[in-house]
Structure 1
């Protein structure tokens, strides 16, 4: 579904872009009718540039019409077995209409992940086959949404009714030494239901791996406190090493596909309106910006929010140029795309709409609990150059407040530092760009 919508949008936006480009070329040639042929040549749109743009948008070497035909063939194959499909579809809960219907729920509902959410619910609600602890490992890269997904499932009323206590071990709280007390202060209680049987749901966050002895002690403590059985453990990590700890197949999370991410970004930037019909030129620029963000949720909220508040084509063009230049700057400085660096917690230069100071350095990016104090400086104000006096030197800023559980505040440690660009590396940058396409 996402792929079909994406290709159709790309085809519509490309048509609008070609029409705009032809008008621009015509105006430019008229104004320069007395200029040299060499100058006129600058305004011609080559088939090669169009092919490169199409390859960037759809992610394949086929052109858009070929990709659209491929999607039509896929839909026809699906329709051949529609009777059986509809029969099985009736067995599953209804999904929100996306992307436009999703806009109404983005503030309090997780986008996508319906299949993964249902998989976790089935694990939690299914009675245990043995008195042993049932364990579900969830593996995925940093900031893919593991904690958000688990928290969202734990808010389900049926889950809260089933377990007498839901305990949460945040990252770093499980120590390798000492006795594990399930009622220690550093353990967070997500729910207590004294009316339900004595069953625990324990959620453990670890960055990489867990010590074998620590794991044994944790399981032992849980078993002792719930002798009737039925307790379950969900353990999340970035490392595949936890897969062997599970009593069931591990759930693996990955970043949203570019097509699903475009739906998400479009829902925030345009709301419930249809950009293809009402804002085709803005939608074309929005699609390119979304491509550059590399499936980063926080960046989507920041960038789409900035665009949504100013539906002006000239302003959007400026933001798009800033995003492009920021990518070039980071490729020159670090030989790596800026949003890939963010996934690795590496420093990255971020753009600003301020001519005198075009960039600042984001040194560190980390979530914090909603109960903690947040910086008064907002990252969006730094990027737009508004909000009063701008900071100097090193400072902390609030990047984004999540409105869905676990309601993290995303903070960044920054420095007002201009990039010292190196020379003689443009060829290497172009090679990097081709690699990302």
Structure 2
């Protein structure tokens, strides 16, 4: 009787899992044709985007068009990766389960049936409901094809822009040494700095965005551009907290709170002032700062870039404010995938790719964590290690939901203490109390977060201690450190929210 039941259950599971995979490529020819069209249009978009990124495009309209095209490419690649990797994984599980069905326990058969349901969950995340899959795919392909149809003029004008000389690095090395996903914003700031002002008044560009979105990095990246340094006689930087009511600097010689980033005596007298504030700036302080800058450059041409997390600085600008936000999920997946797989193509490792997509969801918006975790995965390219990492990510996300009723990424964005998981050592977690941003010239801790996660480096200090999280390879080459201590989360009885209710903010 047991043999008969096992045979019946095995046949049902095999049929069900076969349906999961075949519905992508076999039993629904309409969807198969749509996916083929999607692959075709993405290939053409890849060619245009790669060519555009190899040229120094300055036209703002073309940059906006390129941004739309790039976002569509990321979205299309994300969908294709999700379906392709899940289908390949389901086929592999069907093969293994069919051959070992009679030998497996009921628990293992249950585990397999859950794996099959993950495809439906992934479709729900991508398309809302399974029934919408065909319509959403069709709409996506139509949009991308329409975008491509309007690119003839773009391609024509693209040829007039000079090429950017680059060495033939691997993709992950390029992404590790550039500011990813901010090409349009970069050209917007460059255009503000290099183009003459319409009036003789002091030009001001406000840049607004949440904490750790990359405002300072964007400004520093642009200010190191050769044409910017040639165009200004002095570049001054006022970090957050340096402009107090009683401490406004005298730009004529007493650089008390400001840091001179660059001086160029050969250039005409033009100042570039970078101001970082958390929320708002005192009206009197702002008025005096502008007055001093204007008095030093009577012929005009000086400019100010002011960054903040608050909309209160919008009215300070003489041009439209530049708003920055966290990368969309599809673009972030492209970034994480490139770093985590390195020179290995994800298509060759579908089992790892499925796990990588879920791991990436836990670190979106945190580039420090992304570089750290992606580097660890790249150094240990095997399924067992990645599975252990995924289980740790799931457990720590659930722990944060139980303790704070909030996804760990949202907790991190608010600069609140967060728990981080460990793969080795006696404790499974450690508490990150504070985050620090150090200049490249400052001394950094000898203990690294990499060693803490992997359980290496010997006995860790008692109490709170400092650790190095990541060394940035792009200007301003900050070193990111944390204050942490070995402490496990104290779970209390409370309302338990489902993970997907929090993750909807990241999709």
Q: Same fold (TM over 0.5)?
A: yes
Superimposed CA distance per residue, residues 188-208 of structure 1 (whole angstroms, 9 cap, x where no aligned partner): 112111001000000000011
Aligned match of 1:124 in 193, 197, 202?
A: 193
RMSD (Å) for aligned C-alpha atoms: 2.4
Matching residue of 1:205: 276
Contact 2:210–2:325 (8 Å) recurs in 1: yes
Question: Is 1:328 matched with 2:411?
Answer: no
> 1:16 matched to which residue of 2?
88
Match of 1:365 in 2: 435
Per the alignment, residue 154 of structure 2 pairs with 85
Q: 1:194 aligns with which of 265, 287, 311?
A: 265
The number of equivalent residue pairs is 429
Of 219, 222, 227 in structure 2, the residue corresponding to residue 153 of structure 1 is 222
Does 2:294 correspond to 1:227?
no
Q: Deviations over 1:241-272 (max 9, x none)?
A: 00000000000000111111111111211224
Compute the displacement of 1:393 (Å).
2.0
Return the alpha-carbon distance in structure 1 between the equivalents of residues 182 and 119 of structure 2: 34
Q: Is contact 1:394–1:415 with CA below 8 Å preserved after alignment?
A: yes
Match of 2:178 in 1: 109
Aligned match of 1:339:
409
Q: Deviations over 1:212-231 (max 9, x none)?
A: 00000000110111112100
Q: Which moved more, 1:193-202 or 1:73-82?
A: 73-82
Other-structure match for 1:308: 378
The 5-angstrom pairing of residues 11-410 of structure 1 reads: 11-27=83-99, 29-32=101-104, 40-45=109-114, 49-56=118-125, 58=126, 60-61=128-129, 67-90=136-159, 102-182=171-251, 183-276=254-347, 278-354=348-424, 356-410=426-480
Highest RCO, 1 vs 2 (Cα 8 Å, sep ≥ 6): 1
Instruction: Classify the secondary structure of the residue corresponding to 1:17.
Output: helix
Contact 1:131 1:230 in 2 (8 A): yes
| Offset of residue 175 of structure 1 | 1.2
Could you say if the C-alpha distance between residues 179 and 21 of structure 1 is closer, same or farther in structure 2, counting changes exceeding 3 Å?
Answer: same
- CA–CA distance in 2 between the matches of 1:408 and 1:44? 47
Distance 2:313 2:164 in 1: 31
The answer (yes or no) to whether the contact 2:85–2:350 under 8 Å persists in 1 is: yes
Going from structure 1 to structure 2, the CA distance change for 1:165 and 1:9 (only over 3 Å counts) comes to same
Question: Is the helix fraction higher in 1 or 2?
Answer: 2
Go from structure 1 to structure 2 and tell me whether the alpha carbon gap of 1:96 and 1:141 turns closer, same or farther (over 3 Å shift): farther
Gaps of at least 5 residues in structure 2 are 1-72
Question: Which residue of structure 2 aligns with residue 2 of structure 1?
Answer: 74
Contact 1:180 1:217 (8 Å CA) reproduced: no
| Offset of residue 85 of structure 1 | 3.4
Q: CA deviation at 1:49?
A: 4.1
Give secondary structure in 2 for the equivalent of 1:233. strand
Q: Classify the secondary structure of the residue corresponding to 1:43.
A: helix
Displacement after TM superposition at 1:113 (Å)? 0.7
Deviation, structure 1 residue 45: 4.2
Q: Deviations over 1:42-64 (max 9, x none)?
A: 532487543222333x3744566
* Residues 255 and 164 (structure 1), Cα distance of their counterparts in 2 relative to 1, 3 Å cut: same
Distance 1:95 1:102 in 2: 16
1:189 is paired with a residue whose SS is: strand
Equivalent residues in 2 for 1:418-437, closer than 5 Å: 418-423=488-493, 425-426=495-496, 428-430=497-499, 432-433=501-502, 435-436=504-505
Q: 1:123 to 1:39 in 2, by over 3 A?
A: closer
The answer to whether the 8 Å contact 2:278/2:309 transfers is yes
CA 362–24 in structure 1, closer or farther in 2 if over 3 Å, else same? farther
CA distance in 1, matches of 2:294, 2:196: 16
Report the Cα distance in structure 2 between the residues aligned to 1:387 and 1:102, rounded to whole angstroms.
31
**Contact 1:168 1:202 (8 Å CA) reproduced:** yes
SS of the residue aligned with 1:44?
helix
Q: Residue 403 of structure 2: SS of its match in structure 1?
A: helix
Shift of 1:185: 4.0
Cα distance in 2, alignment partners of residues 164 and 317 from structure 1? 54
Q: 1:127, 1:202 → 2: CA distance?
A: 16
Cα distance, 1:391–1:81 mapped onto 2, change above 3 Å: same
3-state SS of the aligned residue for 2:372? helix
* Greater Cα offset, 182-191 or 314-323: 182-191
Per the TM alignment, residue 364 of structure 1 is displaced from its structure 2 partner at its CA by 1.1
Distance 1:423 1:220, change over 3 A: same
Q: In 1, distance between residues paired with 2:270 and 2:263? A: 10
Runs of 5+ consecutive residues of structure 1 not aligned to the other structure = none
Q: What whole-Å deviation, never above 9, does each CA across 1:390-424 have from its counterpart, x for those lacking one?
A: 23321111111111111111111112111111235
